[in-house]
Each structure stands twice: as C-alpha cells, then as structure tokens.
Amino acid sequence: MYARMSQHLVVFHKVANKEERKLLLSLESGRVCIQSCVCPVAGCGKATTRIDRHLKMHMELSSAVKETALWTCKRKKVIGQLAALRATNPELPLRSSESRGAGRLSTSTRRLISSLGSGAGGDTPSADTSTIKPSSDLEPSTSQQPPSFLEPDESDHGSTLKNIMEEYKMNQLGPDPSSKHQDNVNAKMFRIRKFLTYMAKGKTQLSTLLFLNETSKIHAWVKSLRHEHMKETTIDYYVQNVTHFITFISQTPPPSCRLSKTVLIGLQREMQTVKKSMKRRVAMHRTSVKAEKQTRVLSKGTILKCLSQAKQAIPNILSKFFPPI
C-alpha cells in the first residue's frame, strides 16, 4: 500500500488523465457510489439502491463472499465510467489498458489496470462480473466459496435440470408475488442450487436425478454446511427448503426422472429424518442465543434503583443551573 497512490500512478504508471486517476483511486479506496446496482449473487438479480444492506439479507453467504460481491459491483461501476470516459476521446489518453509495472500495486488496482482495457472498450473480451466469481488473488477459502450453480451446458441434461428448477420457482412464486416474497423465493432457490451442486459433483446424466439417491452424501452435505460455520438455524432452513423441493419432485416427477416411486418416498423419509435430528441442535442454539441476550438486559431491580436515584439527583443538578429566586 502506497501512502501517495496518486503520485505513484502518475510517476510509475504514467496515468496523466485526472479523471482516469480519480476513478482508479476511488476503486482503490473503496469509495465508489453504487446507488443503482443489481445483486451479483447468482439466482438473485434484485435491483436495489443499497446493495450493502441487501447483501446482509443473504444469510447463506459468508462475510468474505459478501465483500467480494460488493467489490464486484464497485468494479463494474468503475469499468463503466472508464468506458464512458474513453468514448469521449480525451486529450490525454487513458492508460488503464496497460499492465506495465502493475506488480507492486494493491490487489484491486493491479487487477483493474490489467483488465480495464478489455472492460472499457479494448479488443479483448471482458471478464463476466454478473455473478460472484472471485479471482485467484482474492479467492477465499473453499468453505467460503459461493456455490458453482448448475447451469445448462451444451447437453440436454443441464437444461432439463434447469427447467425443473424454473418450474419449481414459478410454483413457489405464484400468480402475483410481492417483492418480499420474491426475495424469499430467490433465497430458497439459492439453497436448493447449493444442495444440487454438492450432490451432482462428479456425476453425469443429471436429468435422470439418480444422483439424489445417495443417503451418505446427503449426510455429508449437512456436515459440509457446519464446516462453513453456518448457524444451526440457517442449516435448518437449508434442510426445510430441500425437503420441500424433493416433495415437489416426488409429486410431479419430470419425464426424464429415473427414480422409482419407492426411492422418491425413501428420499422424503430421509429428509424428514435429517430434519428431526436437527431439532435438538436448533433448540440448544436458540436457547444459547436467548441466554446471551438476557445477559445484556438490565434487571428490574437495577432499573428501579436508577429511577429512584435519578429523582434525587435531577433536582440537585437543576438547582445548580437555575438557583431559586
């Protein structure tokens, strides 16, 4: 980190354009105004004026992933501003497309200088910043990674699985969903996608749904959520959402499904067993949270004592400032 980053950009990187330098410094300091922004979390896409507050609603994300999402929005905003500046053909040419000597810059500015040429009108294609995909130099630990969602590929298997998810989402939204209901459904879809991603890892022919018929892997998935340091109540939400999704598949299995009716009933029973096994953990977690809150609450005796002392102290204090005439 340089004490005088502006001077460093001018002397070392030859960034002579003041507007360009201002944008680079804003990204370096994190002071980028992103009043109108679309949530970069895959499966959400909500347009909001306070992305920082909106990301707090994604309880399934870790703090590192939320910071990455916020930085993604800021980077995208700065790239757009630099593109607009480049389109004006300024007298002093922009230097953002050049990466000479960028090794000593901080992470954000180094990556920006090395990639803005493509994102701001260069010849090479720009990287996709619509979803959270941290690069290697800002990549959090494996347990904090956002899920690699099951997107349709060139085969029919991925597209079939996506159609199942879309059908379930429409079923959950209903005919006239409110904005709050849409947020809840998007959060539910995020949890279900994370479950499907874990179960389908290393599997093929996903449209048959045979990858779901692994009880041991379902148990391992629950353990993986605990390894991500999720609270028991959050894990309970995951289990509830997945249970509802499996019930939906059991009642209306897609044509490509190769799971027998007996297996589907077994999966529902297994999810109910997992849900039942979590009741004790959830109850203990809620009890501990309640006990912690109670330690911060003043007792009734302390409040009454404060009131009685205040009745005696307030007249004395007022008499000092307003002596009797």
pLDDT, one tens digit per residue, over 138-191 is: 333 333 344 444 443 434 445 778 888 899 999 999 899 999 999 999 999 999
Nearest to 265 by CA among 279, 278, 238, 247: 247
Between CA 105 and CA 13 the distance in angstroms is: 10
**Per-residue b or e along 57-77, where b marks 16 or more CB atoms closer than 10 Å to that residue's CB:** bbebbbebbbbbbbbbbbbbb
Between CA 302 and CA 306 the distance in angstroms is: 6
Nearest to 58 by CA among 285, 290, 230: 230
Q: List, for residues 69-109, the tens digit of each pLDDT value.
A: 888 888 888 888 888 888 888 877 777 653 333 334 445 45
CA distances from 194 to 88, 162, 212 (A): 44, 13, 13
Between CA 298 and CA 325 the distance in angstroms is: 40
Between CA 139 and CA 144 the distance in angstroms is: 9
User: Tell me, what amino acid is at 122?
Assistant: G
State the pLDDT at residue 198. 92
Q: Is the distance from CB of 181 to CB of 133 less than 8 angstroms?
A: no
Supply angle C-alpha 27, 31, 35, rounded to 5.
105
Residue 52: how many other CB atoms lie within 10 Å? 13
Examine the pLDDT at 240 and tell me if it is beyond 90. yes
Averaged pLDDT of the chain? 78
Q: Is the distance from CB of 139 to CB of 147 less than 8 angstroms?
A: no
Portion of the chain with pLDDT greater than 70, in percent: 79
Copy the structure tokens of residue 149.
């969602």
Q: List, for residues 274-291, the tens digit of each pLDDT value.
A: 999 999 999 998 999 888
Examine the pLDDT at 241 and tell me if it is beyond 90. yes
| Beta bridge pairs of residue 261 | none
Instruction: Round to the nearest angstrom and report the end-to-end CA distance of the chain.
Output: 65
Q: List, for residues 125-141, the tens digit of each pLDDT value.
A: 333 444 444 333 333 33
Q: Is the distance from CB of 289 to CB of 233 less than 8 angstroms?
A: no
Portion of the chain with pLDDT greater than 90, in percent: 28
Between CA 287 and CA 285 the distance in angstroms is: 5
Going through 129-231 in order, the beta strands assigned E by DSSP cover none
Examine the pLDDT at 266 and tell me if it is beyond 90. yes
State the pLDDT at residue 105. 42
Average pLDDT over residues 239-253: 93
Quote the DSSP letter at residue 87: H
Between CA 148 and CA 43 the distance in angstroms is: 11
Q: List, for residues 181-209, the tens digit of each pLDDT value.
A: 999 999 999 999 999 999 988 888 888 89
pTM exceeding the 0.75 threshold for the entire prediction: no
Highest averaged pLDDT of the listed ranges 17-31, 98-112, 294-308:
294-308
**Lowest mean pLDDT across 7-21, 246-260, 306-320:** 7-21
Instruction: Compute CA 280 distance to the chain's CA centroid, rounded to the nearest angstrom.
Output: 28
Rounded to a whole number of angstroms, the CA Rg of the chain reads 27
